[in-house]
A and B are shown apart, each in its own frame.
Chain A
Amino acid sequence: MSERGARPKTLVALGLGLAGLILFPAEASAADPAYGEYLSSECVSCHRRDGQDKGIPPIVGWPPEQFIAVLQSYKTKDRKNEVMQTITGRLSDDDMAALAAFYGSLKPAP
């Protein structure tokens, strides 16, 4: 987990450096914040971005390690929810890191 937790910072820096110069290639780097935000657009159809709980658990502001662990548990089908199993089924480790970094940076609305 510590290795995963450390990865985003390096790649965030790399991503920010590149962003000003060139259009991103199709294969996005792991914790590019723009990529994490784009991936999150799939989450916010159900999980409210403002962190309110209206029937679907809030996911903003989680520690990245926990965020990744929960996603992995759906991908391995240890946790039972077909929507989440389907969504996580195609998330790579890098996708999860980017998502975790993005959601970790959000704060619930007051």
Chain B
Amino acid sequence: MKADRRTFLKGAAATTGVFALGAPAVLGQAKPKVVVIGGGPGGATAAKYIARDAKGALEVVLVEPLKEFVTCFHSNLYLGGFKTFEEITHTYDKLPGYGVTLAHQMASAIDRDKKQVRLADGVTLSYDRLVVSPGIDLKYDSVPGWGKEHEETMPHAWKPGAQTKLLKAKLDAVPDGGVIVMIAPDNPYRCPPGPYERVSMMAHVLKTAGKTKAKIVIIDPKKTFSKQGVFQEGWEKHFPGMVEWLAPDIHSGLKGVDPKTNTVETGFETYKNCALVNVIPKQTAGKIALDAGLANESGFCPIKPETMQSAKDDNIYVLGDATIAGDMPKSAFSANSQAKVAALMVRGELTKSPTFPARYANTCWSLITTDDTIKVGGSYAAKDGKISAIDTFVSKAGESAALRKENQVENMGWYSGITNDMLG
């Protein structure tokens, strides 16, 4: 153990005081070490499962700068007034009980040769296996006229926290007759149905406030989007005339935005003095994964579908939105599912515990308005060199109100289940 880690790892189990760098420990020496970067659905789940199931045989450190985790999933329900901010905010307090040591620091660099992670405060952690689950970073240069300095004026709210609250405040202030423009992102991006559930929640808030003359315009670089048929059916049914989705062949491309005047210009039309502009830019894997050379030219990280190991480093596992996960979407459900495969494989490597073939699953529920929830999902496995869909489903047009209401009960139940699975 490095001297500077002594004070840092206050919660760590007592050890012999010296950690071997590199090779897994052998009998009589220190425990093998696992470092997990990122406390979201991928990282928190992986840390909990590895520590819990290793029953003290491994040292597990979770590196996450924030002490409170605000879920990106269901942040749209906060926007729509279906949940409070407190209800989507969680702590990591239960994880030490499973043997996870919390390091509330930013991970600033990974040294793959030395198998070390450097934290922002200068502390260095060595690892036998590293799990990298950093989520996404935003490409602030992907929308002409918009940048980080404009995120207060034209919020993205694609990372949870202050931006989520800001978008809610701006939405609540939209006057009747006001125009909201959403700049939707191109693939691949976090939460494929997310922009369209968000539009639904915006329309729900406006309609509930009696502002039915307000309008939401979606400028989309994609020709189609997730659950498109049932979203559009829902918008027509619940919010007639309030939502306008423009495919690229209609708007002829986004020319740019002007945050000073809240203007959005496309090849088709210019929207001036918008009541709210929500810019959801392009995304990449979190910076630390890029800096460590774990991503390819796409900006996301290739993985081995059998294990979730990085395709570039067998000692590193990459999870969640940062990965190229084949047919799996970038969702909390996917990250949580991938984390369990990685946890199994990490324990298998370091403690020789049994391993089984990787299996993955995903479901994404989206709320359109009160008691009208749609869903999409699938089962996945390693096949043809990627994570391939085995079976998939999506809600259908014309489904009964009773089924849609059941879906919403399920949606709320899932939230309770996954947050308990990650952090409870």
Contacts and interface: CB of A to CB of B under 8 A. Distances in A.
B391 A90 contact: yes
B417 A45 contact: yes
B337 A46 contact: no
Contact of A90 (B352, B363, B375, B390): B390
Given A24-B355, A24-B356, A83-B410, A47 B417 contact: yes
B412 interface: yes
B421 A44 contact: yes
Interface in B327-380: 333, 336-337, 340, 344, 348, 352-357, 359, 361, 363, 375, 377-379
Interface residues of B, number: 38
Q: Is the interface of A mostly helix, strand, loop or mixed?
A: loop
B404 to A, nearest CB: 13
Interface stretch (A3-11, A27-35, A64-72, A99-107): A27-35
B393 A85 contact: yes
A65 B355 CA distance: 26
Interface residues of A, number: 31
Interface string B24-41: 000000000000000000
A45 B336 contact: yes
Nearest to A82: B393
A85 to B, nearest CB: 7
From A41, A44, A54, A90, name the one whose CB has the most chain B CB atoms within 10 angstroms: A41
A28 B356 contact: yes
B390 A89 contact: yes
B359 A46 contact: no
Interface of B: 49, 333, 336-337, 340, 344, 348, 352-357, 359, 361, 363, 375, 377-379, 381, 390-393, 395, 409-414, 416-418, 420-421, 424
Interface of A: 19, 23-24, 26, 28, 32, 34-35, 38-39, 41-42, 44-50, 52-56, 82-83, 85-87, 89-90
Closest 10 CB pairs of A and B: A55-B413, A56-B413, A54-B416, A24-B354, A82-B393, A41-B340, A46-B417, A55-B412, A55-B409, A46-B414
